Amino acid sequence: MSEQTTPDDITAAVLASFERSPDERLGTVMRALTAHLHAFVKDVALTEEEWRAAIGVLTATGHITSGTRQEWILWSDALGVSMLVDALANRVPASRGGPGDGAGPAGAATESTVQGPFYVPGAPHRGYGERIDEMPAGEPLWVHGTVRSLDGRALPGAELDVWQNGDNELYAVQDRKVPETHLRGRFTTREDGSYGFITVRPTPYPIPHDGPIGHMLAATGRHPWRPAHIHVIVRAPGHRPVTTHVFDRDSEHIDGDAVFAVKPSLLRELTARSADDPERPAGITGRWWSLASDFVLVPGAAAG
Ligand code: BEZ
Ligand code: FE
């Protein structure tokens, strides 16, 4: 009489099937994936009905994904995997300074966070003090600061590649009614490493939630909202680029970002300013806001 095949026998057979993978790293990853996936199935005692539902969710994810809608990355974002991969790939040296002046922790390398689906390369080059809003999109905001290397040296010629949403919650790529360059721009730092541009206050907005991710969020009692933020990629010769955000520290959802991308070092204060404030930049009329944010890059080559 032959012995029965156990769940562990099945796991062992699958693990063994990857033993001779010609690509060693792939073999390691597939064995670990098998071990964790099988442990998960056993742990929750996955039923046949649940397995069928999961296949349905994966199928729907494939169907809704297109050139402009990446539901697979949204799964990665909503499950915190994007932030985890980013954290492992982009560890930065710990802070050497004390608390900063509101523009970021003094001396610390700027931490990265998710890029998100709304980045479009090739934003227009704009000059110091110019605006990125090309049509009415909210309350005026002056964003300024300095880009430095880890040793404190100012970095002239660094590039800030900026994009954000407006008060209708949308990015230009999501909104057929606005120019594709609206709320996007590339700025180059001046001799003293400084940059400055005019924009509008970003608002909280929901991640796309009309597909499988939206169903998962609703079914698990989660919400799709992200706190208000401005995206920036900072690049400078001889330094690792950083893809990050600056967050409005007083924004709704700052303690409950749907994609887990808030890091304390990226929180900034938006300061209310009056129309007669002597620091009001040319190009702004009436009441305005300001946001100071320095960026600190780590010397080294761009990741391959
Ligand atoms: C964003 O910040 O643009 C974003 C990030 C992750 C998912 C959706 C949007
Ligand atoms: Fe965003």
Q: Where are the alpha helices (DSSP H) in the chain?
A: 7-17, 24-44, 48-64, 71-78, 81-89, 212-219
Instruction: Choose which residue among 77, 213, 233 to substitute to test ligand 1 binding: the one with the highest number of ligand atoms within 8 A of its C-beta.
Output: 77
Instruction: Choose which residue among 114, 233, 247, 263 to substitute to test ligand 1 binding: the one with the highest number of ligand atoms within 8 A of its C-beta.
Output: 114
Tell me: pLDDT of 98 over 90. Answer: no
Distance 242 CA to ligand 1 centre (A): 16
- Tell me the three state secondary structure of residue 130: coil
Q: What is the pTM of this model?
A: 0.93
> Whose Cα sits closest to atom 6 in ligand 1?
116
pLDDT in tens, 254-300: 999 999 999 999 999 999 999 999 999 999 999 999 999 999 999 99
Spell out which residues line ligand 1, taking CB within 6 angstroms.
Answer: 74, 77, 114, 116-118, 207, 226, 259
Which tokens sit at 169? Answer: 């919650």
Query: Which ligand is closest in space to the CA of residue 113?
Result: 1
The closest of 29, 31, 1, 25 to 13, measured between CA atoms, is 31
Tell me: pLDDT of 303 over 80. Answer: no
> Whose Cα sits closest to atom 7 in ligand 1?
116
Tell me: pLDDT of 25 over 50. Answer: yes
Question: Tell me, what's the pLDDT at 101?
Answer: 60
> Whose Cα sits closest to atom 3 in ligand 1?
116
Tell me: pLDDT of 99 over 50. Answer: no
Question: Tell me, what's the pLDDT at 106?
Answer: 65
CA dist 217 and 91 (Å) reads 29
Average pLDDT for 29-54: 98
Q: Which long-range contacts (CB under 8 A, 24 or more apart) does 120-123 make?
A: 120/163, 120/172, 120/173, 120/180, 120/184, 123/161, 123/162, 123/163, 123/181, 123/184, 123/185, 123/186
Average pLDDT for 98-122: 82
Distance 219 CA to ligand 2 centre (A): 24
> Whose Cα sits closest to atom 1 in ligand 1?
116
Percent of the chain with pLDDT over 70: 95
**How far apart, in Å, do the first and last CA atoms of the chain sit?**
57
Average pLDDT for 51-64: 98
